[in-house]
Amino acid sequence: MPSYHSVFNKAKVNQKICGIPVFEFKEKKTPTLDPSKLKVALNQIELDIIDEAIIYFRANVMFKNFNIDGDADKLIVYITVFIQKCLERAADPNPNKAKENMRKLVEQCEYVAKSENFFNVLVNKKEGGDMTSLQNYLRRIRKETVERLIYILFEDEKTKMDAKYWIALGKKKFMGYDMMTMKQ
């Protein structure tokens, strides 16, 4: 079975920061786990890159290899690794503590260009933009990803019963990558 690549690889990207595409996404959006909503024409898709990463997470996290087919796949990799880290922190038996732990990751997972960071192979500083802009964009993605995952795991009556399956995947490292965290 092949891994799932982003449908947004075919989208026209108006802006890149250090080689990473900037896709607009809605904030405070109720997430969906319906993959059929990604099977429509690109100009009719109601979902965004974060929805797509969440939808494909449970399948993609199982792969040891993932070829980058386009710029959007760079964000899929980043978000997938971040989701894994969130699920790792969501394992706390106290739901309020789990939510707090996940929200702390927004700041703790700040991207800093270090040689041991998995994301360095995807970032190209020569392609325009500055690191501060990239960090701000990735922080917004992390924040929205956390809020959508909290909804799926703890608030949505239809999906929270699957939380144990999601959280179990927090132990699985996508391509062996781990999101670096800073202590705060």
DSSP structure string for 93-117: SSHHHHHHHHHHHHHHT-----TT-
Contact present, 31 and 146 (Cβ < 8 Å): no
Q: What pLDDT is stored for residue 1 in this prediction?
A: 65
Q: What pLDDT is stored for residue 129 in this prediction?
A: 79
Q: What pLDDT is stored for residue 180 in this prediction?
A: 82
Q: What pLDDT is stored for residue 30 in this prediction?
A: 92
* Residues in the chain with pLDDT values less than 70: 1, 114-115, 183-184
Q: For domain 12-176, give its CATH number from 1.10.3470.10, 3.40.50.880, 1.10.10.10, 1.10.1760.10.
A: 1.10.1760.10
- Give the 3-state DSSP-derived string for 105-170, with helices as H, strands as E and coil as C: HHHHCCCCCCCCCHHHHCCCHHHCCCHHHHHHHHHHHHHHHHHHHHHHHHHCCCCHHHHHHHHHHH
Q: What pLDDT is stored for residue 151 in this prediction?
A: 95
Q: What pLDDT is stored for residue 115 in this prediction?
A: 62
